[in-house]
Amino acid sequence: MKRGFKNSRFFNTYTLHFQSPKLTQIMKALSILGSLLLSLSFSNLAIAQWRVIALKSDTKIYADGKLLKKGAQIKPSTQLKFAQEKSYVRVYQKRNPLFTIAPGTSKKLEGKAADLLLNRKKFFSRGEIKLIEPFYTLAEARDLLSGDLSLIFIDKAQLFFNKNVFQNYDQPEAFFLLYTHQGKKAVKKLSYQRTDDQITLPLDKNIYAGISDLNTISQNALFFKTNKTRKPTLLSRMKTVVVVKPDKKFKKEMAELIKILDREYTEKAIKKRAKTQNSSLRFMIDRADEYKLYDIIHFFLDYYDSMPERNSVKFWLIKNFPKLQVPGKQN
């Protein structure tokens, strides 16, 4: 499985769409601020030590020839060696973003820690922040569902479509999942719920008719049908639907991560990190909850080696960490 982050279609799905000159100016200012923060972060990281807050537990990672453990301190110059491609180390330094060190797309199993940092971009919700973020276009749905990385849902699998996704068609009257199992094609009709502006498509864990080994399933495709079409229309090719239920170990590590994020994304901490006061700083402070969410999403990605579906992450966080301010959550 490829671990592509810079070109991950998931991130393209959640880019900002500004339409007014004022918002465009804000975005430019934010871009400049982001570059400043990144340069400040890496200049500080170059002279400081990083604390290991998490690492993949089922593989061995060595730092300067010694087995690396959680809580250890490493430097940018530390020589790391990974036993497997699907390994990672999460590091933290006060007043700096959290970083992941991993072989990544380069597939380099060893090198200096600073050379193995993954560069992951953060993109934000469009305009008003809402709890449920549906697909708004057919192209957007296809980008995420057929992306390079496997897609996982946390606890429960649901897809949300704004009515505009189907604006060039009559509204769907039925949805179908087509897949291949051991060389045989199967079709599953899916239930759905409709409101005035949204369609919710639950993906029950039994959609594969009780097949336990999901690795034997291939060629998934999602179709919809209207009353005026004889044949179903392809909505998207998609990855096998995988629903994960985080265990106690994962929840414990997530709790530790959230404590760090709560400290690092206070208004005071953001000001110290930026070391400047301008119009875009207010935007950054207002979007602190989304910065936290992206660090959490990256943690899911590292842990499961798959891209978590954003809405399911939000619902899981609200259920398991009710004090956390999730973007779009009403107090």
Residues 92-129 have pLDDT tens digits of 777 666 778 888 766 788 888 888 887 665 555 555 67
**Mean pLDDT confidence for 144-156:** 80
**Mean pLDDT confidence for 270-279:** 61
Answer with the residue of higher pLDDT: 148 or 87. 87
Q: Which of 144, 166, 102, 209 is nearest to 13 (CA)?
A: 144
For 76, other C-beta atoms within 10 Å of its C-beta total 18
Three-state DSSP class for 314? helix
Q: 6-15, 40-49, 132-141, 270-279: lowest mean pLDDT where? A: 6-15
Quote the pLDDT of residue 45. Answer: 45
CA distance 215 to 269: 45
Give me the residue spans of the domains in the chain: 9-124+245-320, 158-240
Q: Look at the block and give the residue holding tokens 């291949």.
A: 180
Q: What mean pLDDT, rounded, does the chain reach? A: 78
Structure tokens at 163: 């009515």
Amino acid at 212: S
Q: Which of 226, 231, 164, 150 is nearest to 199 (CA)?
A: 164
**Mean pLDDT confidence for 184-211:** 88
| Chain-centroid distance, C-alpha 193 | 25
Kindly state the DSSP code that residue 137 receives in the 8-state scheme. S
Q: Contacts from 122-128 at CB under 8 Å and sequence distance 24+?
A: 122/290, 122/291, 122/294, 123/11, 123/14, 123/15, 123/16, 124/14, 124/16, 124/287, 124/290, 125/14, 125/290, 125/327, 125/328, 126/16, 126/17
**Mean pLDDT confidence for 84-89:** 85
| Chain-centroid distance, C-alpha 273 | 24
Of the pLDDT bands very low, low, confident and very high (cuts 50, 70, 90), residue 316 is very high
Structure tokens at 127: 């305009």
Rg (CA), the chain: 21
Specify whether the backbone of 258 is left (phi greater than 0), alpha (psi in -120 to 50) or beta: alpha
β-bridge mates for residue 67, sequence order: 62
CA distance 252 to 257: 9
Residue 125 · residue 133 · CB < 8 Å: yes
Structure tokens at 296: 């959490």
Amino acid at 311: N
CA distance 46 to 122: 22
Model confidence at 36: pLDDT above 80:
no
Model confidence at 14: pLDDT above 90:
no
Structure tokens at 40: 């400040």
Please give the order of strands across the beta sheet that includes 158-162: 158-162, 198-202, 193-194
Of the pLDDT bands very low, low, confident and very high (cuts 50, 70, 90), residue 5 is very low
Asked whether the CA dihedral 141, 145, 149, 152 is positive or negative, the reply is positive
Quote the pLDDT of residue 212. Answer: 82
Structure tokens at 299: 């943690």
Kindly state the DSSP code that residue 320 receives in the 8-state scheme. H
